[in-house]
Structure 1
Amino acid sequence: MNNYLELNGVSKNFNDFNLKNINFTLPMGYIMGLIGPNGAGKTTTIQLILNMLEKDEGEILVFDMDNVKNENLIKQNIGVVFDNIFYADNWTIRDTEKAISIFYKDWNHDIFKSMITRFNLPLNKKISELSRGMQMKLMLSCAFSHNAKLLILDEPTSGLDAVTRDELLEILQDYIKDGDRSVLFSTHITTDLEKVADYITFINNGELFYTGSLQDLLEKFRLIKGRPKDLTETLKKDIIGLRETDIGFDGLIHTNDTIKYNNCIIDTATIDDIVIKVSKRGVVR
């Protein structure tokens, strides 16, 4: 099994939004960042993978198995962390283990205990009394304690301070180091992905804009800046997410097109730059 996750032509239609023809694969042993502006379809995609929503078209394979026909078996090997904790507020951490462990045949109390100790989580505190960072660590502890091969995280670093976010990223890198685990990581904090992601899937307005290696994405585009007189009609056609001011302009451009514009300033683009400019322009060539 080379791919832990595979989406082929996946679509979902709502009254006011359509997710259209999503295709990507997540190989075993890697971290994939799922990016896009708010409302682009990231959470919908994750919910489809987890069979929380019924797809209208396409195929979703997890561990080479159909995600609907083999849902129970698949979920034994998946750990899920959402942006909001889904455990009861009045549970303690001890209560949480008792409630969650019964659903997993491979639950390992010793691993759970070691994770709780590592994170310095108070066993007798109620969920409602835990900070957001502590709640996130508790969800990760549960995910790790049943030997999950695939972690799916939806905005896990949202609302966390920089130190806690960095600790989470280290945990994810440690999680995949043996090469037999993978992570799908949805976030709008793209600087986190630049530290840990191997692959990026970019969904914009319900459509797949890019899927591939992080390095290839960053090499594919450049930022371009110039004076008003440098903004030719040809450049207007090439530029993505054009922003004009009285003193000049800036935007995104395909790296292969930069040779045509030696009179402009060309700079490297971050994931953030790419998401912002593409979101303003919409679907581009």
Structure 2
Amino acid sequence: MNKILEITNLCKSYKDFSLKDVNFSLERGYIMGFIGPNGAGKSTTIKLIMNLIKKDSGQIKIFGLDNRKSEISIKEKIGFVYDENHYYEDLTVQEMKSIISPFYSQWDENLFKKYAKDFGLPLKKQIKHLSKGMKMKFSLAIALSHNAELLIMDEPTSGLDPLIRSELLDVLQSLMQDEKKSVFFSTHITSDLDKIADYITLVNNGEVILSKTKDELFDEYCVVKGSKDHLKSDMDNIFIGLRENQFGFEALSQNKNKVIQYLGDSVIIEKPTLEDIMVFSTRRSDQHDPSY
């Protein structure tokens, strides 16, 4: 397997939060959705990947190289798109591009011009006057204009209108035609990943809950709905994040076949969304939700 990103036993502790033995990997030519509720550890993991903060233990390999020892050569081949704007607000798009481009030996000016045209970037406009969607498009144009092999995106669609989000997803899907490139897409907007992700890694409270292909998740997991009469003590191990109300229950199961075996057609079995899998899996500790 040709792994473009490999995280092994990664740990980082703060006073009130710890990232604990994080393990996952991403192969070339695929998009990984990195999901979890706010505060789950997504941004901390990305900062560690980018060597912006120091890990306590574990290993991070990008392109097969240690992310600290080979930091400069690695970052030459990484494109970044963040939720927050990190550019000089008083500069124009053209001026900011001219400052950034010399840092990349593989900068392709013609490619930038193409993306600027495709995205409708106003090159002479100050960055502070750009909409959030246009700032994201500028970040994406920069990230894609130096032949990056790994695109790392931290909440890129947060706060964007559906049309801009759809445009971004289209760009990422077209990018995947080049099987040498990969995308690591961190978000809490799971509906975006329903459309484009190949792999899903879910984190909660600093731990990896699951890391599988999206197809595996949809094949294995299901949402189960039924009356409380079907709830038995010996079935607790097949339900995740059980929610009850006066009308019945709703739960996630990781074993669709076992649900069918135990309950047959006496319950409703539905295909889950990624949001279902995230919400139910991260609320295991709150099995009975009176607000549901």
Partner of 1:52: 52
Partner of 1:273: 276
Secondary structure in structure 2 of the residue aligned to 1:91: coil
Point out the more displaced range, 38-47 or 260-269. 260-269
Structure 1 residues 178-213: Cα deviation after superposition (integer angstroms, max 9, x where no partner): 211000001111111111111111111111111121
Q: Which amino acid aligns with 1:104?
A: Y
Q: Does 1:170 align with 2:150?
A: no
Secondary structure in structure 1 of the residue aligned to 2:107: coil
Aligned equivalents of 1:126, 1:95: Cα separation in 2:
9
Runs of 4+ in 1 over 6 A off after TM superposition: none
Partner of 1:261: 263
Secondary structure in structure 2 of the residue aligned to 1:273: helix
Unaligned runs of 5+ in 2: 288-292
Partner of 1:228: 228
Report the RMSD for the aligned CA atoms in angstroms: 1.5
Aligned equivalents of 2:80, 2:214: Cα separation in 1:
23
Contact 1:204 1:283 in 2 (8 A): no
Structure 1 residues 254-281: Cα deviation after superposition (integer angstroms, max 9, x where no partner): 2242121222221111110010011111
Contact 1:205 1:282 in 2 (8 A): no
Aligned-pair CA distance for 1:154 = 0.4
Aligned-pair CA distance for 1:282 = 4.9
* Structure 1 residues 257 and 84: CA distance shift in structure 2, 3 A: same
Contact 1:6 1:60 in 2 (8 A): yes
Q: Does 1:202 align with 2:241?
A: no
Aligned equivalents of 1:270, 1:13: Cα separation in 2:
32
Aligned equivalents of 1:198, 1:82: Cα separation in 2:
21
Partner of 1:158: 158
Structure 1 residues 123-173: Cα deviation after superposition (integer angstroms, max 9, x where no partner): 111111101110000001101111111000000011111111111001011
Secondary structure in structure 2 of the residue aligned to 1:106: coil
Report 1:27-38 matches (<5 A): 27-38=27-38
What fraction of aligned residue pairs are identical, expressed as a percent? 46
Size of the aligned set, in residue pairs, is 284
Aligned equivalents of 1:182, 1:68: Cα separation in 2:
20
Contact 2:12 2:19 in 1 (8 A): yes
Report 1:1-285 matches (<5 A): 2-254=2-254, 255-258=256-259, 259-262=261-264, 263-282=266-285
Point out the more displaced range, 250-259 or 268-277. 250-259
Secondary structure in structure 1 of the residue aligned to 2:283: helix
Aligned equivalents of 1:60, 1:186: Cα separation in 2:
17
* Structure 1 residues 23 and 84: CA distance shift in structure 2, 3 A: same
Point out the more displaced range, 233-242 or 189-198. 233-242
Aligned-pair CA distance for 1:236 = 3.3
* Structure 1 residues 283 and 246: CA distance shift in structure 2, 3 A: closer
Aligned-pair CA distance for 1:283 = 11
Structure 1 residues 66-112: Cα deviation after superposition (integer angstroms, max 9, x where no partner): 00000011000000011011001111011111111121111121111
Q: Which amino acid aligns with 1:49?
A: I
Unaligned runs of 5+ in 1: none
Q: Which amino acid aligns with 1:280?
A: R
Structure 1 residues 30-58: Cα deviation after superposition (integer angstroms, max 9, x where no partner): 11100111111111111110001111111
Secondary structure in structure 2 of the residue aligned to 1:280: coil
Aligned equivalents of 1:47, 1:150: Cα separation in 2:
15
TM-score w.r.t. the length of structure 2 is: 0.94
Aligned-pair CA distance for 1:233 = 1.4
Aligned equivalents of 1:74, 1:235: Cα separation in 2:
48
Q: Which amino acid aligns with 1:18?
A: S
Contact 2:241 2:286 in 1 (8 A): no
